[in-house]
Amino acid sequence: MTALTTPARPKHDAGLQPVPWRRMAWVTWRQHRATLAGVAALLGVLAVYLWLTGLQIHHAYATSCHPASSLACNINFTGRYAVSVNVARVLLQAVPALIGAFAGAPLLAREMETGTFRFAWTQGFGRWRWTLAKLMLLAVVVAAAAGAFSVLFSWYLSPFSAAGYSIPFATDVFDLREVAFTGWTLAAFAIGALAGMLIRRVVPAIAATLAVYAGLALATALWLRQHYMTPLLTTKLSLPASAWIVNQWYTKGGKFAFGARGSQIINAIQHYSCNSSNLSPAQCLTQHGYTWWASYQPGSRFWPFQWIEGGWLLALSVLLIAATVWLVRHRAA
């Protein structure tokens, strides 16, 4: 049993070439092609839907909406396709969450759950390199697919924006546009991967991913996004429709009078009989010596806001992926 013919083998670390990174391309493809096919099918079906209805919408807009205030536009364009757009918006909001839950979360959780990590992590490639390569490859593919898809959505939505029905900052549309949508998809994937490594079981990891993603998206829409840049202040009542009014209030004689909501403004409106005039409450109250103030984000800030949101989501994703790789490397299995 003594080894007389031990083949020549490299000694220790000296000159030990690591297994090339590119080898993980085949491994990742072979192991996750079903997942990638699922992502492709999901985005593909939605893309076909957007493409077909988008063509109709563009056609209706081109034939009926000159001007956009015309009755023909109201009936043949807005009235006919508003529901389609709402359906599309709701469906698309779920896309990053689904990708995070079904592409991100099982990635490591399944390895932990079935014990195959004991196989994968004892191969020559090394466990943290294996994790990093897989996560990066899939993250790039998923983000690229989402980015391409969001371009299609922007095209789909463009007649509504042109007709003034959809302001660019609208909460249910902003995060479906190019940069933000890519960022959200990437972040959802990274959240899923980390949740999978932390929880180590597929179904709870999926649930956690959905919960964390929903919480983050909600918090961003409700509280965070409006603070990306300092809002502008105005007293001019003729703000363009593309502006996103963050806050509004009234002053009288240089002192704060009341906000745009609440019992005080109701009392004032009733006191000056503004509800019976043709004017808007703001116009009416202005005539009675009040000054209307608004802090707002102008429509021209749409792209800076997209890049800010995409930027911090990218940073978050990088952080989450780094944390996942760190866990794989340091946490005892």
Q: Which of 13, 230, 254, 262 binds another protein (CB under 8 A)?
A: 13
| 27 scored as a contact of another protein (CB under 8 A) | yes
Count, residues near another protein per rule CB under 8 A: 40
Q: Which of 56, 70, 114, 270 binds another protein (CB under 8 A)?
A: 114
Question: Among the candidate windows 69-77, 115-123, 147-155, 209-217, which touches another protein by CB under 8 A?
Answer: 115-123
Q: What is the DSSP letter of 223?
A: I
| 269 scored as a contact of another protein (CB under 8 A) | no
Alpha carbon distances (Å) from 123 to 12, 24, 79, 130, 232: 16, 12, 60, 9, 57
Alpha carbon distances (Å) from 69 to 65, 66, 78, 252, 279: 7, 8, 10, 36, 20
63 or 122: CB nearest another protein:
122
State how far the Cα of 156 lies from the Cα of 305, in Å rounded to an integer.
Answer: 21
Question: Among the candidate windows 20-28, 58-66, 96-104, 319-327, which touches another protein by CB under 8 A?
Answer: 20-28
State how far the Cα of 265 lies from the Cα of 275, in Å rounded to an integer.
Answer: 11
Q: How far is the CB of 7 from another protein (least distance, A)?
A: 7
**Contacts (CB under 8 A) with another protein, residues 294-323:** none
Interaction pattern, residues 73-112, with another protein; x per rule: CB under 8 A: ----------------------------------------
Cis-peptide, bond into residue 231, ω within 30° of zero: no
Q: Which of 8, 17, 262, 278 binds another protein (CB under 8 A)?
A: 17
**Contacts (CB under 8 A) with another protein, residues 130-159:** 130
Q: How far is the CB of 127 from another protein (least distance, A)?
A: 7
Q: Which of 69, 70, 123, 247 binds another protein (CB under 8 A)?
A: 123
Closest CA to 74 of 88, 60, 87, 59: 60
Give every CB contact of residue 35 below 8 A, 6+ residues apart in sequence.
102, 103, 106, 138
| 201 scored as a contact of another protein (CB under 8 A) | no
State how far the Cα of 54 lies from the Cα of 12, in Å rounded to an integer.
Answer: 62
Q: How far is the CB of 84 from another protein (least distance, A)?
A: 38
Residue with tokens 């961003």: 220
Q: Taking phi first (over 0 means left), then psi (-120 to 50 degrees means alpha), and beta for anything else, what does residue 296 get?
A: beta
Query: Where along the sequence are the contacts to another protein (CB under 8 A)?
Result: 1-7, 9-10, 12-13, 16-19, 23-24, 26-27, 30-31, 34, 114-127, 130, 330, 332-333
